[in-house]
Each structure stands twice: as C-alpha cells, then as structure tokens.
C-alpha cells in the first residue's frame, strides 16, 4: 500500500510537471507569435433584432500555430495574462480590429474584447486613441467589451480609464452580463452604453420559464437605463424570436453566423447588403 501511495504521488507530480511544461512551451511559442504573424482575428456578426442584418462584428482572436493548428483563445489568453504578453496581444488586437473595420462599409462597427490584465497594465486610453488614429476609424464605430472581473480590483482607476475611452466616442459594453456576483452594482458605478447578456441565459430560455422572466426583466431595466442590449449565443429561431419580442437590440450567435475568417467576410457582406 505504501508503494502504491508513493507511485500515486509521483503520478500526480509528473502530471503537474507536464502541465507546467506545456504552459511554458505555449508561453515561449506565444512570445514570437505576433512577430511571426500567427495571430488572426475572426469576426462574428452582430445582427439587428428587427431585420437580421449585420450592425457590426465582434473580433475574436485565434492563434494560427504552425503545428497545433488554429488555437482558440481559451487555450492561450489565460497564459498570456500571467505576463506582459497580454499587453502585446491586446495592443495587436485593437490595432488589427480597427484596421480591418476601417475597410468595411461605414455603418458597421467592430467590438474588441479587452482583458482585465491588459487594461490595468497599459495606458489603454492612448492605445485606443492611436489605433483609431492609425486606422482612421471613426470612434463611434469601435466598441470595447469588458467583463465585470475588470472592475473588481482598483475600481476607481478602471472607471477613470473607461471614462477616458468613452470620452473619445467609443462604446463601452459590459460582456457576459449576469454571470458575475455584482453585475447590477457595476451599472451603478460606471455609465456603460450597452450590456451583452450571457449565453447561459439565452440557452436556458428555451426550457426554463424563469430564465425567460429574468431576460424580460433585464430587457426592461436596460430600457429604463437607456442601455443598448445584445444577446449572445443565439442558436435557434425560437430563441431569436423570443429575444426580439422582448426588445433586445442586437443578436449574435451560431443561428445567424459563426465567427467568419477574414477571407469569408466579403461574401457575407455582399449577401447582407441593406436594401
Ligand atoms: P466571449 O467574449 O463571450 O465571446 C463569445 C464566444 O462564444 C466566442 O468564442 C464565440 O465563438 C462563441 N459563440 C458565439 N456564438 C455562439 C453560439 O451561438 N453558441 C456557442 N456555443 N458559442 C458561441 P471564442 O471565440 O472561442 O472566444 C472565447 C472567449 O475568449 C471570448 O468569450 C472572450 O472572452 C475571449 N476572447 C476572444 N477574443 C479575445 C481577444 O481578442 N482578447 C481577449 N482578451 N479575449 C478574447
Ligand atoms: Ca465578448
Ligand atoms: Ca460575451
Ligand atoms: Ca459569454
């Protein structure tokens, strides 16, 4: 039994080692990824709830790794956040998204996800301003999506930085609304322009009448507070119908379109031109 215990211990130890080794490998590869042009943005349409036509796109980062293939953000953003790598990735993302959007028809917006770490470690106001300047994108066409995790530490500093960006004319959206502990208190602390209802509520709305009641309540609160409201993760016609009935402004999800590669964009845009 003693020998068994020891080998179990060794097993866990070596498993931990290999996870750490894997993380370090990813981190080392990631250091050169921007210079090697391996990061790419895919763009998922946000559509108007009234006519289903796109109002803009959310930029979603992927890492085109030479041997691992297309790596989703869940597998490298958290690793990047443990060092200043997240600052380089964030700067690259904002710039690349603004550059891309500047070439789209002028009614279309681009939404960029900001990591809390990037936000805190950089002069984000200047980064946004220079991305807008370099690309020539109108500030009103840029949206910044932040999760409430951002507001937990140093809320005053974060609020000041958000205010700077908002003063440029950029839209600020609270992402994954409803998943945190204090979504409502953050609405009190900072003047968001928009909330994005988390996919978990949309998913539950299909089978759970309470989820539908909560969504109705969120929609009516958003109306009172004059906040725009987007629902993410819309996968069925039924969900889309319900969400537009309760007056969500925008919908996003696989039912309308998956994230598109830059190569897919022109055809999508052509097929969705407003009459
Ligand atoms: P998010 O901001 O909540 O983005 C939405 C995620 O849900 C995306 O996954 C998208 O592909 C997926 N999705 C969209 N519609 C549907 C649907 O109908 N059903 C289902 N099941 N999923 C749907 P993705 O691209 O893997 O991104 C995951 C997360 O990674 C994002 O969640 C965001 O938090 C983060 N992320 C993505 N791009 C960036 C970035 O450039 N910077 C930072 N810091 N984080 C990013
Ligand atoms: Ca987002
Ligand atoms: Ca989201
Ligand atoms: Ca989400």
Query: 86, 97, 113: which to mutate for ligand 1, most atoms within 8 A of CB?
Result: 113
Closest ligand 1 atom to residue 86 Cα is 44
CB 53 within 8 A of CB 47: yes
Q: Where are the alpha helices (DSSP H) in the chain?
A: 2-33, 77-80, 85-102, 116-121, 124-135, 155-167, 183-189, 199-205, 209-224, 237-245, 265-271
Residue 149, burial from CB neighbour count under 10 angstroms (0-12, 13-18, 19+): middle
The H or E element that residue 46 is part of is: strand 39-48
pLDDT digits (tens, 9 = 90+) for 124-160: 999 999 999 999 999 999 999 998 777 777 788 888 9
Share of the chain above pLDDT 70, in %: 95
Query: 60, 146, 173, 176: which to mutate for ligand 1, most atoms within 8 A of CB?
Result: 60
* Alpha carbon nearest to ligand 1 atom 37, residue: 60
CB 219 within 8 A of CB 248: yes
pLDDT digits (tens, 9 = 90+) for 44-74: 999 999 999 999 999 999 999 999 999 999 9
Please give the Cα distance from 192 to 247 (Å, whole number): 18
Residue 176 CA, ligand 3 centroid: distance in Å? 5
pLDDT digits (tens, 9 = 90+) for 227-257: 999 999 999 999 999 999 999 999 999 999 9
* ipTM of model: 0.97
pLDDT at residue 1, as a whole number: 47
Query: What's the whole-model pTM score?
Result: 0.93
Three-state secondary-structure class, residue 55: strand
Please give the Cα distance from 104 to 216 (Å, whole number): 34
Residue 225 CA, ligand 1 centroid: distance in Å? 26
CB 132 within 8 A of CB 98: yes
Please give the Cα distance from 94 to 197 (Å, whole number): 23
Please give the Cα distance from 234 to 253 (Å, whole number): 4
Residue 176 CA, ligand 4 centroid: distance in Å? 5
Residue 24 CA, ligand 1 centroid: distance in Å? 24
Residues with CB under 6 A from ligand 1: 44, 60-61, 72-74, 77, 93, 113, 115, 175-176, 232-235, 253-254, 259
Least confident of 4-8, 170-174, 187-191: 4-8
């Amino acid at each position: 039994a003693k020998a068994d215990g020891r080998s179990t211990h060794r097993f866990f130890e070596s498993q931990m080692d290999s996870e750490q080794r894997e993380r370090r490998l990813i981190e080392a590869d990631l250091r050169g990824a921007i210079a090697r042009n391996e990061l790419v943005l895919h763009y998922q349409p946000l559509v108007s709830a009234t006519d289903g036509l796109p109002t803009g796109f959310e930029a979603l980062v992927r890492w085109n790794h030479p041997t691992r293939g297309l790596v989703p953000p869940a597998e490298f953003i958290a690793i990047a956040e443990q060092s200043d790598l997240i600052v380089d990735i964030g700067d690259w993302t904002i710039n690349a998204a603004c550059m891309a959007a500047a070439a789209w028809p002028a009614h279309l917006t681009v939404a960029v996800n900001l990591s809390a770490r990037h936000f805190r470690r950089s002069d984000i106001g200047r980064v946004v301003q220079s991305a807008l300047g370099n690309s020539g994108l109108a500030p009103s066409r840029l949206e910044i999506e932040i999760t409430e995790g951002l507001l937990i530490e140093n809320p005053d500093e974060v609020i000041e930085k958000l205010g700077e960006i908002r003063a440029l004319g950029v839209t600020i959206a609270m992402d994954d609304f409803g998943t945190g502990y204090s979504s409502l208190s953050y609405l009190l602390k900072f003047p968001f322009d928009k909330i994005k209802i988390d996919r978990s509520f949309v998913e539950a709305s299909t089978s759970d009448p309470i989820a539908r009641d909560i969504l109705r309540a969120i929609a009516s609160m958003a109306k009172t507070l004059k906040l725009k409201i987007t629902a993410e993760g819309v996968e069925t016609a039924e969900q889309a119908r319900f969400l537009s009935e309760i007056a969500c402004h925008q919908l996003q999800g696989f039912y309308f379109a998956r994230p598109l590669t830059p190569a897919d964009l022109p055809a999508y845009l052509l097929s969705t031109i407003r009459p």
